[in-house]
Structure 1
Amino acid sequence: MPSTVKDLLVSGAALTDAALERLLPGPETLPHSIHRAMRHSTFAGGKRLRPILCIEACRMVAGTLPEGIPDLGAALEMLHTYSLIHDDLPALDNDDLRRGQPTCHVVFGEATAILAGDALQTLAFQTIAALPAAPATVVAVLRDISLAVGTGVGPNGPLPPGMIGGQVVDIESEGHTPTAELVESIHRAKTGALITTSIVSGGLYGAGPDHAGTDTIARLRTFGEKAGLAFQIVDDVLDMTQDSAQLGKTAGKDTASIKATWPAVYGIDQSLRDANQLIADAFDALAPFGESAAPLKALAQYLTTRTN
């Protein structure tokens, strides 16, 4: 891994973890069980990729890091962690290992795990609502993130499915022969939507209240959509080629469950070629930003070369 990417990951994770430590209730805060469960999953060793992408998108747009950006990154990590807690439940993927640690329901029981996920989602939106930014900026960030997490329904009519919509399609397609169209729709929603909004919300926060309709935000969205799909394609490949110790989660579950994955449709070699092409397309979207986009590009490249 290039030292620049290492630096980005280390510094971004440090900013995020400090914000999470400040925002999450302590383990001695009543009721103990829910707060300990929230912290167990949040501090289980994640890479903090979504907050880091948010931070670097904001830095690219604003030229600096405005007050509150670590809290926005922390809120995105809360949303990601909540989705993992629920995804691991027996009613969904039924997994007992996440980030190299026992999953939340294994340690605290199913009921507390469900509530821990609910509490993290609620705290995430409370955190975003309290960001020290212009009201128009906070509303724009809230809107983009809430739509990305949802089912594809908004106040102005149908939208592309968000994370929860993607999870539903993923569950309902299990056991069926995957098609290219199905796999892409699941990946863009279940994983890609949260990665995309991490990048876009960082750009919105950095741009301030005059962001609406700007070419910068449109380019960040294209970048996020391409990089997010590449991330999940690589995740599919890793599930087939790495063991559980390397992944930090149970390897081979996608294949065993006949999940709709990219390699199941295209094979491993073509999947890796597709991921690399998506990253190249993502780079093209940021071409007008020159060297200021270098950190985001480095992170996107890392998404396709990681081993866990």
Structure 2
Amino acid sequence: MDPTSRIELALEAALGHAATPGCPPKLARALHYAVFPGGARVRPRLCLSVAHACAEEDPTLPDAAATAIEFLHCASLVHDDLPCFDDAALRRGKPSVHVAFGEPLAVLTGDALIVLAFETLARAAVAGPALSARLACLIGRAAGAPDGIAAGQAWESEEDVELAAYHRSKTGSLFATATMSGAASVGADPDAWRMLGERIGEAYQVADDLRDAVCDAATMGKPARQDAALDRPNAVSELGLEGAVKRLEGLIASAIASIPDCAGADDLRAQIGAEAKHFLPKGLARVAA
């Protein structure tokens, strides 16, 4: 089965444990709405790609880790869009969860997805209790403090923000966890895969900053020019367009170079190089040239 289909099936199965007939109907609909249809599923695909490169044999724990990571990502989007944060009316080309279902249900939807992420890991523990416990620690740290998603969002409330620390927490933490969890789920050393995730995560954030600066809402599927409107730290304001493009290219090269030796290293390098070509927004090729 191709990774994307595998992820979609795993997400549906895991969500089925929460959105059952006993669940409040609106909450059940909001949970499904927040997860489907999804975006590119970059983080869970990265998790599965590393597991495959490390000679995955049993898909149970890799699937659980990939699913948990995507649930946390979806939860972060639901919360990011709330009026108290970005106050964004669009996400993935459709009304944000709080617009479609109301603010209280949006808060609860994000909370429920976070809990479901760890329930999913617990259900898979039978395939490897020790590995499952390690995954829970890795993924939990990526969600909270001191340098997970919650910390990244909290940096927006500080007066002095270091851009690298902000990106590392808000975006990079979940990418680093994706690569580390992919390795840990098959018994490989997760620390060897941290740099790959960190570099891809920072590259993805720089690319998002570039898209926010040069693309429109229809292209992005969410409001554009949010960084400038909310005075958020971003790569374009700090480095300029050309500097941000160069930073993006340097991060991709560093990410590929960081891939440890393993059975599927060459295939993974080729895959990341091919997918990274889509990071740069259309219209900026001349800047990169």
TM-score (norm 2): 0.89
How big is the shift at 1:36? 0.6
Distance 1:229 1:272 in 2: 12
SS in 2 for 1:62: coil
Question: 1:108-147 maps to which residues of 2 (within 5 A)?
Answer: 108-131=101-124, 132-147=126-141
Partner of 2:54: 61
Q: Is the 8 A contact 2:144 2:151 kept in 1?
A: yes
Q: Which of 135, 143, 148 does residue 149 from structure 1 map onto?
A: 143
Q: Does 1:197 align with 2:177?
A: yes
AA at the equivalent of 1:284: A
Partner of 1:4: none
Distance 2:277 2:227 in 1: 19
Partner of 2:154: 168
How big is the shift at 1:288? 2.6
Q: Over residues 233-269 of structure 1, what are the superposed CA-to-partner deviations in whole Å (9 max), with x where a residue is unaligned?
A: 1110011111111111111111121110011100111
Q: Is the 8 A contact 1:236 1:263 kept in 2?
A: yes
AA at the equivalent of 1:144: L
- Residues matched between the structures, number: 278
SS in 1 for 2:40: coil
Identify which range, 104-113 or 285-294, moves more after superposition: 285-294
Q: What's the % identity of the aligned pairs?
A: 32
Relative distance call for 1:62 and 1:168 in structure 2 (3 A) is: same
AA at the equivalent of 1:299: I
Q: Which of 217, 222, 229 does residue 249 from structure 1 map onto?
A: 222
Question: 1:11-90 maps to which residues of 2 (within 5 A)?
Answer: 11-25=2-16, 26=19, 29-64=22-57, 66-90=59-83
Distance 1:185 1:232 in 2: 12
Distance 1:117 1:300 in 2: 33
Distance 1:189 1:274 in 2: 18
Q: Does 1:299 align with 2:279?
A: no
Distance 2:56 2:121 in 1: 21
Q: Is the 8 A contact 2:93 2:218 kept in 1?
A: yes
AA at the equivalent of 2:256: F
Partner of 2:167: 187
Q: Is the 8 A contact 1:44 1:101 kept in 2?
A: no
Q: Structure 1 stretches of 5 or more lacking a match?
A: 1-9, 153-160
Relative distance call for 1:145 and 1:80 in structure 2 (3 A) is: same
How big is the shift at 1:47? 1.0
Distance 1:144 1:287 in 2: 19
Relative distance call for 1:78 and 1:293 in structure 2 (3 A) is: farther
Relative distance call for 1:296 and 1:85 in structure 2 (3 A) is: farther
Partner of 1:157: none
Q: Which of 189, 203, 212 does residue 230 from structure 1 map onto?
A: 203
How big is the shift at 1:86? 0.4
Distance 1:101 1:27 in 2: 24
Q: Is the 8 A contact 2:75 2:111 kept in 1?
A: yes
TM-score (norm 1): 0.84
Q: Is the 8 A contact 2:193 2:260 kept in 1?
A: no
AA at the equivalent of 2:145: T
How big is the shift at 1:279? 1.3
Q: Structure 2 stretches of 5 or more lacking a match?
A: 283-289
Partner of 1:102: 95
Relative distance call for 1:126 and 1:246 in structure 2 (3 A) is: same
Q: Which of 276, 279, 290 does residue 252 from structure 2 map onto?
A: 279
AA at the equivalent of 2:80: D
SS in 1 for 2:173: helix
RMSD: 2.1
Relative distance call for 1:62 and 1:278 in structure 2 (3 A) is: same
How big is the shift at 1:296? 5.4
Identify which range, 267-276 or 27-36, moves more after superposition: 27-36
Distance 1:239 1:65 in 2: 40
